[in-house]
Homo-oligomer: A and B are copies of this chain.
């Protein structure tokens, strides 16, 4: 058996499979819900990683259920691989922010066009922030105590979006114009 180098995406799937056997579809949705705010993945990727991990013996396919659902269960090898992954030092985050590129090259754009783009993106981030805050407010105390890490990752989103919005708001008028919706 080749030593199969786990990537973070595959490892996350193993992480979720600790809870119960799941099919690709479940994993896509679970991942979206639980780590989607800071780790993106597509269905294609999930199915590919599952196939590769099944091949490598980290998960075992069960019997297909309704609608051809293919459940996978964690194996001992999978559990071991996950343990190894999770105890590694996590790497640095990657941020790729196209808006900042547009801004950096903003000299090539009419000022009001740039201002409009900034304005629109500010609105999106403000909305995302409201969304997180609504979620935060709805967490029952029991959950808060049982899953402090889940709350902490949500809080990260809140801190991040607040920073982004306040960054927009401190931009000089020369860049953002004065049409910004406060």
| Interface set of A (CB-CB < 8 Å, partner B) | 8, 11-12, 15, 18, 34-35, 38-40, 82-83, 86-87, 89-109, 113, 117, 120-121, 124, 148-150, 152-153, 155-156, 159-160, 162-164, 166-167, 170-172, 174-175
Q: Cα distance A55–B60 when bound, in Å?
A: 47
- Residues of B contacting A40 with CB < 8 Å? 94, 96
- Residues of B contacting A18 with CB < 8 Å? 108
Known: A94-B96, A96-B93, A156-B167. Is A149-B101 also a contact (CB below 8 A)? no
- Residues of B contacting A148 with CB < 8 Å? 172, 174-175
The reply to whether A95 and B93 form a contact with Cβ atoms under 8 Å apart is yes
The reply to whether A117 and B100 form a contact with Cβ atoms under 8 Å apart is no
